[in-house]
Structure 1
Amino acid sequence: MLRSLWDDFVGLVFPRLCLACREPLVRGENHLCTGCRAELPYTDFHRLPPEQNPLSRRFWGRLPVRHTLSYLHFVRRGRVQNLLHELKYQGQRDVGTALGQLYAAELQAAGLAADFDLIVPVPLHPRKLAKRGYNQAAAFASGLSTGLQLPWNTTTLHRKADTKTQTRKNRAQRWANVATVFEVENSAAIVGQRILVVDDVLTTGATLEACAAALLAAGAAEVSLATIACA
């Protein structure tokens, strides 16, 4: 009882805010308010067959990807951009974990958990990781791992070079920027594995394509892709 009263008092003085709309959260809400949970622009791509999935089409003829998934549509100056900004630039790694758990519940309900053996986040270069303090893709992978009850690690893929930002690059420039950046640390550990590669945002798909190509070349049985949002 006293703890509940204290929590209510703290909530009045220092209200917890929804990371999507910035409105105060009420008791029982974490990270996202009920309104945003209901109104976020979900893609529902996991409910579509690959031939009807617009994300899958981006990789046709370039890479044999089994599933191409994204939880939310990216909308500029909207709730999703707020969430990604908090995750990537404001130290709110719990946003990635929470969204991973929420999306995992959707993938479980769609029967997709059985299609993956291992979850691998797109790695940051050690220099960038040290500066930010965490990898936002790894936070998402952690949440997916908990919800899907699948292993994940940050040791499978290694980023050899600290590439320039992909912002304002076209697809060809993005591919040239990352084409030879990723390598597999221990090929024996992924041979025959069905790997789900995850990142925060899918735009042209160049980074995810480079990661998937490295994994397939190292002996992965198949690769699928998943992101928090897609542009």
Structure 2
Amino acid sequence: MKFTKQGNVQKVLHKLKYNGHQQIGITLGHWYGHELSAASLNKEFDFILPVPLHPDKLKKRGYNQSDTFAKGLSDSMGLPWYQNVLQKGTFNETQTNKRRLERWQNVKDVYCVKDATVIANQRILLVDDVVTTGSTLEACALTLVEAACKEVSIATIATA
């Protein structure tokens, strides 16, 4: 889906992210996962990882919107998903109003792998709600590659 300011996708994602409508992420994950499975892409991954939130933000929001999407994908693709393998160790400012370089600098070195043995030589589907510049997904993927995963692919609900 294409994310545009004031568009329907933005409205739906804001309900998911800021208004407690976790079922939106699960439902979109089911739909997307069925499409990926119909194309036999579920066989390309060993498990699914959501982009993590910092523990303080998670506590404030009560859930991780990317995790709800990952759960829906997991259910429909028959793949496990792990919530706490990839972690965000540093609290950083929101990416919302930042330019590309600022986004990269804001997320550089903030992610870590809790247990590298879980991801060693594994094919990972990394998921997030929206990709804007790709800085967050790139930072997470680099962290996973540095921890010796075999391959990282990405899926998002929308692109901006």
Quick check: TM above 0.5?
yes
Paired amino acid for 2:147: A
Superposition TM-score, scaled by structure 1 size: 0.68
Equivalent position of 1:76 in the other structure: 5
2:25 aligned counterpart, secondary structure: helix
Q: What is the 5 A alignment of 1:210-229?
A: 210-229=139-158
Superposition TM-score, scaled by structure 2 size: 0.98
Provide the C-alpha distance between the structure 2 equivalents of 1:176 and 1:218, rounded to a whole number of angstroms. Answer: 21
Equivalent position of 1:188 in the other structure: 117
Equivalent position of 1:230 in the other structure: 159
- Number of aligned pairs? 160
Percent identical = 52
Query: Could you tell me how far 1:82 is from its partner in structure 2?
Result: 1.2
Regions of 4+ moved over 6 Å: none
Gaps of 5+ in 2: none
Provide the C-alpha distance between the structure 2 equivalents of 1:193 and 1:171, rounded to a whole number of angstroms. Answer: 29
Provide the C-alpha distance between the structure 2 equivalents of 1:189 and 1:95, rounded to a whole number of angstroms. Answer: 29
Provide the C-alpha distance between the structure 2 equivalents of 1:125 and 1:97, rounded to a whole number of angstroms. Answer: 21
Provide the C-alpha distance between the structure 2 equivalents of 1:187 and 1:100, rounded to a whole number of angstroms. Answer: 26
With CA pairs under 8 Å and 6+ residues apart, which has the higher RCO, 1 or 2? 2
Q: Say whether residues 1:201 and 2:130 are aligned partners.
A: yes
Provide the C-alpha distance between the structure 1 equivalents of 2:3 and 2:125, rounded to a whole number of angstroms. Answer: 21
Equivalent position of 1:134 in the other structure: 63
Provide the C-alpha distance between the structure 2 equivalents of 1:107 and 1:158, rounded to a whole number of angstroms. Answer: 26
Across the aligned residues of Structure 1 and Structure 2, the Cα RMSD in angstroms comes to: 0.7
Equivalent position of 1:9 in the other structure: none
Gaps of 5+ in 1: 1-71
Equivalent position of 1:152 in the other structure: 81
Paired amino acid for 2:11: N
